[in-house]
């Protein structure tokens, strides 16, 4: 079996897998097979060194990575062995230790997990109660940072200076006290307490023979400590990582941990992998050029194993809307031009911030391209799901006062916000949980100081009744066969939840109810004896002689396990794929959440300053690494794009990373012409069969345009687009920043049937600025009219299928870079589709773009850029021509200003590492009911199931957007 494991590896990978070194670092750039090597080493340790799988811990950074890792290991050692490994995120492994050995450090068995909304609510309340000036969200993040550094509140207070630090210290202290009183651990606590447990009771990990860690560059200090503690018995540690992909500095990740490790274990062996198996040479070169802008970074060798392939594209578009429309048209064109070689699931759109997804979703929906979201609004964050889960959490753990406060008046029971607040404060002052106070009040054992009128008392009684019925159900499980789903059904029934949703959300109650049904389906699956067994097996730790271990057996335990898995499941993607079904959907993801993944075609839109690097980012090197991570997800085709104006109609400036000297040489200015030879090249890079010429030609004939030539390369709005604008019916591309006075005048004019731009000006109704705008606009419109005329002529004589229109005199990629002087790389013929670069040459030696295939560019677009004057208002007065031609009949999308994004400070939190509901909250909900897509929800429980990997989570076909993503 061992030879099978090694068969598919190159020699450096083999060396790493078979290395005898106790402490091993495998450092390598993206796509070089780090994960492959790690999984092979696990298999090798089992097959060759006879290590027992249950004595091996494998830590991943995300829930998704854990499940992928399990699949890969399964491929080597089989499902039976793979499921016995102790594999998961740092958080889930820590949770297992705390659940089973927590009593040794005085941890109550029934501790709950404070999820992100609990933590936020607690901090907010503390800030409000003490009338502090500190920002609650920032304070919460700061607490997390302190914890990640291992600084507790008392330590912090000791060193705190007066003022802001003292204030924060107070919040930190109160926050910890609240968690303690509620018997809750937040996500950081899971790691910290586990560290404490393993330090004081090393026997807990006395069985551990090997520890392997993926994506080590993103570990923080607590995780580093945990590493040393997990492995303390034998110190056999393998880590894989890439400092260039360190993108979680904002969450206290420490690149320094790599050196720290070497200092701690001087015999650490480092193996570098240098061959990239993922991306074409052209993509690698471009990405490498970006990352090498960081001069503090040591030079590294990276060899492409694929041919040079098609040069990446850096595209300029007039607006975010135009960018989205172009993006979708490119997806469709590339699919057709490659004769079915590429399916929708081969495309990914990677965003710096989820907040800018809306125009892209709109365009995809309009074109009927199915998509899924990663790192957007998550299943368990949806209001209807969260509400039911909160009820379950309170039934399981009534001391969670934050959860009680959230649901006591949900559905509405006439217990007002002020009453809840007052009850909460009263409970705090008496050292009681909110639940205890409410229960005692309703049952007549206590007279609260909070004033309660009859309707409120009645509301509280109804609430108490629901929770007590849940408790009774839990208790009855000891004598009769009650399963988890019975409990969920009980809550749903007691709340008359379906009719509640119907009344409360008349517009999309069905989609919301589908979510509830999905949750019920998950509970059914988790109740399945086989599944239950698998879940328990996954969570069980080996028995250690002489060490008492708590085991999960009752329904209460099952419920708490179910809820813990929900709390630790931040990522909800891939459900369908885990069902063994590859749904044909394009992926929209944040770059953070795309870490470790790959797609044949990747788009990175909104490449402008403020977006990437993000306006709020302090560390620009980390932002550059983020762009690098995004670019290196692409296998065969990579598109970067930048709208000249963002959705607020603000002028943008191309990302500083792309403006650096020499960068332009690595990019084309528009999507590639896909010759037949290019299709062969793409197929080779993707290791797929190439479709026949007949199929390709047939598909191609269905295209209106076989070139990326609708949008001009200098970012001007095509005349056809301007002609589509419609203000009369309120559904067109109306831009919201237009001055109100001007808009109303134009609207009036349109209603009156005027048909020229000049007629739209209504003296007396416009401000000076608006008049200036109108004048500017008229000037531009005259130009546009001229162009439109020319365009019409061209259309008659020659259908615009080719590239001509775009290339002739419309500037080039140079227009992006025009503001800087830079050396001009040599230009070669553009028609060569797959010029190759010797794969054996290190990348740093062949970086000179002069040696690459270069497009033959037309006159540099510098002049067009210089002529380009910022518009103060959009070109909105052009009379409508066939305004509805391109609009979906049931188009219910709305545009919200989204760019530059204004996320919460920790909006980067988009991966599924730690549950990250901020990421979901910062993301505007996806507009429902407009397009097909699917939801992907995975719990770590789902990932344990060997055959039916979703633990029976029902696969829904009606999609992400149809799920009532609205909060």
Ligand X SMILES: Nc1ncnc2c1ncn2[C@@H]1O[C@H](COP(=O)(O)OP(=O)(O)OP(=O)(O)O)[C@@H](O)[C@H]1O
By CB under 6 A, tell whether 288 contacts ligand X: no
Which C-beta is closer to ligand X: that of 257 or that of 950? 257
Using DSSP, state whether 36 is helix, strand or coil.
Answer: helix
Of the candidate spans 7-15, 50-58, 264-272, 426-434, the one that interacts with ligand X by CB under 6 A turns out to be 7-15
Residue 477 CA to residue 487 CA, distance in Å, equals: 10
Binding to ligand X in span 243-262, by CB under 6 A: 245
Which C-beta is closer to ligand X: that of 91 or that of 633? 633
By CB under 6 A, tell whether 68 contacts ligand X: no
Residue 316 CA to residue 605 CA, distance in Å, equals: 10
| Neighbouring C-beta atoms of residue 12, cutoff 10 Å | 18
Which C-beta is closer to ligand X: that of 309 or that of 900? 309
Q: If you count them, how many residues does the chain have? A: 967
Which C-beta is closer to ligand X: that of 242 or that of 622? 242
Of the candidate spans 5-13, 145-153, 306-314, 688-696, the one that interacts with ligand X by CB under 6 A turns out to be 5-13
By CB under 6 A, tell whether 64 contacts ligand X: no
In the complex, minimum distance from the CB of residue 34 to ligand X, in angstroms, rounded to a whole number: 3
Residue 212 CA to residue 58 CA, distance in Å, equals: 5
Residue from 30, 309, 359, 630 that binds ligand X (CB under 6 A)?
Answer: 30
By CB under 6 A, tell whether 277 contacts ligand X: yes
Residue 966 CA to residue 377 CA, distance in Å, equals: 9
Output DSSP code: residue 867. Answer: H
Of the candidate spans 4-12, 609-617, 699-707, 776-784, the one that interacts with ligand X by CB under 6 A turns out to be 4-12
In the complex, minimum distance from the CB of residue 278 to ligand X, in angstroms, rounded to a whole number: 4
CA atoms within 13 A on the CB side of 383: 17
Of the candidate spans 23-31, 109-117, 199-207, 919-927, the one that interacts with ligand X by CB under 6 A turns out to be 23-31
Any bridge partners for residue 211, and if so which?
A: 57, 237
Residue 5 falls in which region: left (phi positive, over 0), alpha (psi -120 to 50) or beta: alpha
Q: Rounded to the nearest 5°, which phi and psi values hold at 604?
A: -120, 95
In the complex, minimum distance from the CB of residue 30 to ligand X, in angstroms, rounded to a whole number: 3
Residue 202 CA to residue 229 CA, distance in Å, equals: 8
Token pair for 323: 């960018």
Of the candidate spans 27-35, 178-186, 422-430, 738-746, the one that interacts with ligand X by CB under 6 A turns out to be 27-35
Which C-beta is closer to ligand X: that of 85 or that of 516? 85
By CB under 6 A, tell whether 25 contacts ligand X: no
By CB under 6 A, tell whether 70 contacts ligand X: no
Q: Are 291 and 244 in contact (CB under 8 A)?
A: yes
Residue from 5, 12, 24, 35 that binds ligand X (CB under 6 A)?
Answer: 35
Q: For the chain, first and last CA: distance in Å?
A: 51
In the complex, minimum distance from the CB of residue 688 to ligand X, in angstroms, rounded to a whole number: 12
By CB under 6 A, tell whether 218 contacts ligand X: no
Residue from 10, 206, 343, 660 that binds ligand X (CB under 6 A)?
Answer: 10
By CB under 6 A, tell whether 13 contacts ligand X: yes
For tokens 């949980």, name the residue.
Answer: 433
Output DSSP code: residue 351. Answer: E
Looking at 477-580, list the stretches that DSSP marks H as alpha helix, in order from N- to C-terminal side. 484-494, 497-504, 509-527, 529-539, 555-567, 575-578
With a CB cutoff of 8 Å and minimum separation 6, the contacts of 133 are 167
Which C-beta is closer to ligand X: that of 2 or that of 508? 2
By CB under 6 A, tell whether 839 contacts ligand X: no
In the complex, minimum distance from the CB of residue 241 to ligand X, in angstroms, rounded to a whole number: 8
Residue from 176, 188, 242, 735 that binds ligand X (CB under 6 A)?
Answer: 242
Residue from 16, 25, 36, 900 that binds ligand X (CB under 6 A)?
Answer: 36
In the complex, minimum distance from the CB of residue 19 to ligand X, in angstroms, rounded to a whole number: 16
Of the candidate spans 9-17, 80-88, 751-759, 819-827, the one that interacts with ligand X by CB under 6 A turns out to be 9-17
Interface with ligand X: number of residues (CB under 6 A): 18
Which C-beta is closer to ligand X: that of 36 or that of 251? 36
Of the candidate spans 33-41, 225-233, 759-767, 841-849, the one that interacts with ligand X by CB under 6 A turns out to be 33-41
Residue 466 CA to residue 438 CA, distance in Å, equals: 13
Residue 290 CA to residue 284 CA, distance in Å, equals: 10
Residue 566 CA to residue 858 CA, distance in Å, equals: 56
Residue from 27, 31, 291, 724 that binds ligand X (CB under 6 A)?
Answer: 31
In the complex, minimum distance from the CB of residue 599 to ligand X, in angstroms, rounded to a whole number: 11
In the complex, minimum distance from the CB of residue 236 to ligand X, in angstroms, rounded to a whole number: 21
Q: Are β-strands 112-113 and 347-351 bridged in parallel, bridged antiparallel, or unpaired?
A: unpaired
- The continuous run of DSSP H or E covering 58 comes out as strand 56-60
In the complex, minimum distance from the CB of residue 158 to ligand X, in angstroms, rounded to a whole number: 41
By CB under 6 A, tell whether 116 contacts ligand X: no
Q: Are 605 and 313 in contact (CB under 8 A)?
A: no
Binding to ligand X in span 592-631, by CB under 6 A: 596
Chain-centroid distance of CA 893 in Å reads: 22
3-state secondary structure 220-282: EHHHHHHHHHHCCCCCCEEEEECHHHCCCHHHCECCCHHHHHHHHCCCCEEEECCEECCCCHH
34-47 vs 63-77: helix axis angle to the nearest 10? 50
Q: Is the peptide bond before 584 cis (omega within 30 degrees of 0)?
A: no
Which C-beta is closer to ligand X: that of 460 or that of 597? 597
Q: Are 302 and 274 in contact (CB under 8 A)?
A: yes
In the complex, minimum distance from the CB of residue 595 to ligand X, in angstroms, rounded to a whole number: 7
In the complex, minimum distance from the CB of residue 213 to ligand X, in angstroms, rounded to a whole number: 13
Q: Which residue is nearest to ligand X (CB)?
A: 33
Residue from 9, 12, 442, 591 that binds ligand X (CB under 6 A)?
Answer: 9
In the complex, minimum distance from the CB of residue 72 to ligand X, in angstroms, rounded to a whole number: 8
Q: Are 126 and 171 in contact (CB under 8 A)?
A: yes
Using DSSP, state whether 25 is helix, strand or coil.
Answer: strand
Residue 956 CA to residue 516 CA, distance in Å, equals: 12
Q: Are 564 and 349 in contact (CB under 8 A)?
A: no
Per-residue CA distances from 831 to 435, 677, 699, 857 (Å): 72, 10, 21, 12
By CB under 6 A, tell whether 912 contacts ligand X: no
In the complex, minimum distance from the CB of residue 603 to ligand X, in angstroms, rounded to a whole number: 18
Of the candidate spans 32-40, 56-64, 647-655, 815-823, the one that interacts with ligand X by CB under 6 A turns out to be 32-40
In the complex, minimum distance from the CB of residue 61 to ligand X, in angstroms, rounded to a whole number: 10
Chain-centroid distance of CA 762 in Å reads: 47
For tokens 């008659």, name the residue.
Answer: 796
Which C-beta is closer to ligand X: that of 253 or that of 523? 253
In the complex, minimum distance from the CB of residue 26 to ligand X, in angstroms, rounded to a whole number: 9
In the complex, minimum distance from the CB of residue 18 to ligand X, in angstroms, rounded to a whole number: 14
Which C-beta is closer to ligand X: that of 32 or that of 585? 32
Which C-beta is closer to ligand X: that of 5 or that of 261? 5
In the complex, minimum distance from the CB of residue 631 to ligand X, in angstroms, rounded to a whole number: 11
By CB under 6 A, tell whether 271 contacts ligand X: no
Q: Name the site residues for ligand X (rule: CB under 6 A).
A: 8-10, 13, 28, 30-36, 242, 245, 277-278, 596, 632
């Amino acid at each position: 079996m061992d030879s099978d494991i090694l068969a598919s590896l190159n020699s450096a990978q083999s060396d790493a897998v078979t290395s005898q070194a106790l402490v091993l670092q495998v450092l390598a750039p993206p796509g070089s097979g780090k994960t492959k090597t790690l999984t092979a080493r696990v298999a090798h340790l089992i097959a060759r060194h006879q290590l027992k799988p249950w004595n091996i811990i494998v830590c991943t950074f995300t829930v998704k990575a854990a499940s992928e890792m399990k699949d890969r290991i399964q491929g080597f050692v089989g499902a039976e062995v793979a499921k016995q490994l102790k594999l998961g995120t740092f958080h889930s492994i820590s949770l297992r230790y705390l659940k089973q050995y927590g009593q040794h450090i005085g941890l109550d068995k029934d501790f709950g997990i404070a999820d992100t909304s609990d933590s936020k609510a607690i901090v907010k309340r503390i800030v409000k109660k003490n009338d502090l000036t500190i920002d609650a969200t920032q304070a919460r993040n700061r607490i997390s940072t302190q914890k990640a550094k291992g600084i507790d509140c008392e330590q912090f207070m000791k060193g705190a200076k007066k003022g802001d630090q003292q204030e924060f210290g107070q919040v930190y202290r109160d926050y910890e006290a609240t968690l303690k009183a509620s018997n809750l651990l937040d996500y950081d606590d899971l790691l910290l307490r586990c560290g404490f447990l393993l330090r004081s009771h090393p026997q807990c990990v006395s069985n551990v023979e090997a520890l392997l860690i993926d994506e080590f560059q993103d570990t923080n200090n607590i995780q580093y400590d945990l590493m040393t503690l997990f492995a303390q018995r034998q110190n056999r540690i393998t880590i894989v990582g890439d400092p260039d992909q360190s993108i979680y500095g904002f969450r206290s990740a420490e690149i320094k941990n790599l050196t720290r490790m070497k200092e701690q274990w001087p015999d650490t062996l480092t193996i570098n992998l240098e061959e990239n198996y993922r991306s074409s040479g052209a993509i690698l070169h471009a990405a490498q050029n970006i990352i090498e802008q960081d001069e503090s970074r040591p030079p590294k060798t990276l060899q492409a194993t694929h041919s040079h392939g098609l040069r990446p594209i850096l595209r300029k578009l007039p607006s975010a809307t135009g960018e989205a429309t172009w993006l979708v048209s490119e997806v469709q064109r590339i699919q057709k031009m490659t004769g079915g070689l590429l399916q929708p699931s081969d495309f990914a759109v990677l965003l710096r911030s989820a907040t800018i997804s809306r125009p892209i979703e709109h365009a995809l929906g309009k074109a009927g391209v199915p998509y899924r979201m990663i790192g957007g609004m998550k299943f368990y964050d949806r209001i209807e799901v969260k509400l039911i889960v909160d009820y379950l959490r309170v039934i399981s753990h009534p001391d969670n006062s934050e959860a009680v406060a959230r649901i006591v008046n949900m559905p509405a029971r006439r217990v007002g916000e002020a009453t809840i607040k007052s009850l909460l404060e009263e409970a705090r002052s008496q050292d009681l949980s909110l639940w205890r106070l409410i229960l005692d009040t309703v049952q007549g054992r206590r007279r609260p100081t909070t004033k309660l009128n009859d309707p409120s008392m009645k509301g509280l009684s109804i609430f108490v009744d629901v929770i007590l019925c849940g408790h009774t159900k839990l208790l009855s499980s000891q004598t009769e066969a009650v399963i988890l789903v019975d409990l969920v059904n009980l809550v749903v029934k007691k709340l008359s939840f379906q009719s509640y949703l119907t009344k409360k959300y008349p517009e999309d109650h069905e989609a919301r109810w589908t979510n509830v049904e999905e949750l019920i389906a998950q509970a059914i699956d988790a109740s399945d004896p086989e599944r239950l067994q698998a879940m328990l097996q996954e969570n069980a730790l080996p028995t250690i002689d002489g060490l008492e271990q708590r085991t999960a057996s009752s329904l209460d335990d099952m419920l708490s396990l179910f809820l813990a898995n929900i709390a630790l499941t931040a990522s909800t993607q891939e459900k369908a794929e885990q069902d063994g079904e590859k749904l044909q959907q394009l992926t929209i993801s944040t770059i953070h959440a795309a870490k470790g993944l790959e797609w044949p075609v990747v788009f990175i839109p909104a490449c402008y300053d403020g977006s990437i690097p993000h306006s709020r980012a302090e560390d620009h090197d980390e932002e550059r690494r983020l762009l690098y991570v995004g670019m290196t997800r692409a296998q065969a085709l990579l598109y970067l794009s930048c709208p000249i104006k963002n959705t607020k109609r603000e002028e943008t400036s191309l990302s500083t990373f792309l403006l650096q000297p020499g960068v332009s040489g690595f990019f084309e200015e528009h999507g590639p012409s896909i010759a037949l030879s290019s299709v062969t090249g793409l197929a080779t890079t993707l290791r797929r069969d190439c479709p026949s010429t007949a199929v390709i030609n047939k598909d191609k004939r269905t295209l209106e345009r076989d070139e990326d030539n609708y949008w001009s390369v200098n970012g001007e709005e095509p005349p056809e687009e301007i002609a589509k604008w419609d203000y009369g019916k309120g559904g067109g591309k109306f831009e919201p920043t237009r001055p109100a006075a001007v808009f109303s005048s134009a609207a009036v004019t349109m209603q009156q049937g005027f048909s020229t731009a000049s007629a739209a000006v209504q003296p007396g109704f416009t401000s000076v600025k608006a008049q200036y705008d109108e004048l500017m606009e008229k000037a531009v419109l005259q130009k546009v009219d001229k162009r439109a005329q020319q365009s019409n002529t061209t259309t008659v004589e020659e259908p615009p299928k080719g590239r001509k229109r775009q290339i002739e005199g419309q500037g080039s990629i140079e227009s992006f870079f025009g503001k800087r002087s830079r050396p001009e790389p040599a230009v070669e013929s553009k028609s060569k589709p797959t010029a190759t670069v010797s794969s054996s040459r290190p990348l740093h030696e062949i970086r000179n773009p002069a040696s690459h295939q270069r497009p033959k560019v037309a006159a540099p677009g510098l002049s067009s850029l210089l002529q380009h004057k910022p518009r103060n208002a959009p070109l909105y007065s052009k009379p409508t021509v066939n305004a509805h031609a391109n609009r979906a009949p049931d188009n219910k999308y709305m545009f919200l200003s989204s760019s530059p994004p204004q996320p919460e400070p920790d909006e980067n939190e988009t991966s599924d590492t730690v549950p990250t509901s901020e990421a979901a909250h910062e993301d505007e909900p996806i507009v429902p009911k407009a397009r097909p897509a699917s939801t992907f929800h995975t719990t770590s429980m789902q990932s344990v199931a060997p055959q039916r990997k979703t633990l029976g989570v029902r696969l829904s076909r009606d999609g992400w957007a149809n799920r009532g993503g609205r909060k």
